[in-house]
Amino acid sequence: MSNQVRAKTVAFIGLGMMGGPMAENLLKKGHPLVVYDIDERKVRRFVELGAQAATGPADAARQAGILISMVDTTAQAEEVIAGPDGFVRSVQSGDVILSMSTIDLTALRRLHPRLAAMGVQLLDAPVTGMEKGAKEGTLNAYVGGDAAALERVLPVLQSMASKVTHFGAIGQGLAMKLINNMLFQVNRVLIIEGLALGAKAGLDPQQMFETISGATGNSVAFQYSAPRILKREFDGIRMDITYKDVELQTQLAKSLGMPMFMANAALQVYQMARAQGLGDKDGVAVVQMYEQWTGAPVEGRK
């Protein structure tokens, strides 16, 4: 493989609910793609679509100059980027690494100088827009890191996201993503409490939804959460991931010496739900816990 071909090739690690559609959009936009996931079935599917398979992150970095990590946790991202079989084993000067997961920004800030010493730029570029945005290529990407490096990978990001915003130094994109997630994830608990309170008071949950949709209590979070609750649609973004996000929000506040009341309360609600075996369900499944407490179901009309 020539250096020119390698520089234009994209490596994508993590082909899950979000990463899979994002990687597929890269192929649709004509980017040469190398993929790896611990689930071999997902890799085989992408090979059938035209991607090259890698045996791990280090092998992917041998074949590509733009390297994307889209995994679940901080530990997984650190393993992909700097682990024994991580990108660092094969990166070359001039490469750009895009960490697109919602993880601990301090971990990336620790890795940044090590990679910079190797001539490698590290950018954080977490995305919002959920699975629908990943499939449609309409995600919002929040970027932190070197502006010149962002300019180089902008066509790659624009193949997955309809809006790319640069927020400053490394970690700033993640800070923005955590705050956005906090506003949604904490609000969702309050939405569930409100609907559960209304059901306990004898209100019809469907009528509550219709009324609030045209009132000051309405929000994007409400329009996402309430219909799923009423229809009992509890598949989606796993509550384990939500808990991880809220924990990162509270950790960031702690590192900055800032008190955080609402996020810490929501963290405990999600933890209680996980303790009851709901960790693999979407965060709206918290309503099942409230229904146990109240004895009043929050369901739409039959």
Instruction: Name the residues annotated as catalytic.
Output: 177
Q: What is the DSSP letter of 159?
A: T
**Alpha-carbon span 46 to 51, nearest angstrom:** 5
Secondary structure (3-state) at 78 = helix
What's the number of CA atoms in the CB half-sphere (13 Å) around residue 150? Answer: 19
CA distances from 45 to 24, 41, 148, 227 (A): 10, 6, 34, 33
**Alpha-carbon span 77 to 100, nearest angstrom:** 9
**Alpha-carbon span 275 to 190, nearest angstrom:** 20
Determine if residue 259 is left, alpha or beta; phi over 0 gives left, psi from -120 to 50 gives alpha, anything else beta: beta
* Helix or strand holding residue 201 (H, E): none
Q: What is the DSSP letter of 272?
A: H
**Alpha-carbon span 28 to 24, nearest angstrom:** 6
| Distance, first Cα to last Cα, the chain | 61
Q: Work out the angle between the directed axes of helices 172-200 and 105-117 (0-180°, nearest 10).
A: 160
Q: Do residues 108 and 124 lie in contact, with contact meaning Cβ atoms separated by under 8 Å?
A: yes
Contacts of 155 (CB under 8 A, 6+ apart): none
Q: Do residues 195 and 229 lie in contact, with contact meaning Cβ atoms separated by under 8 Å?
A: yes
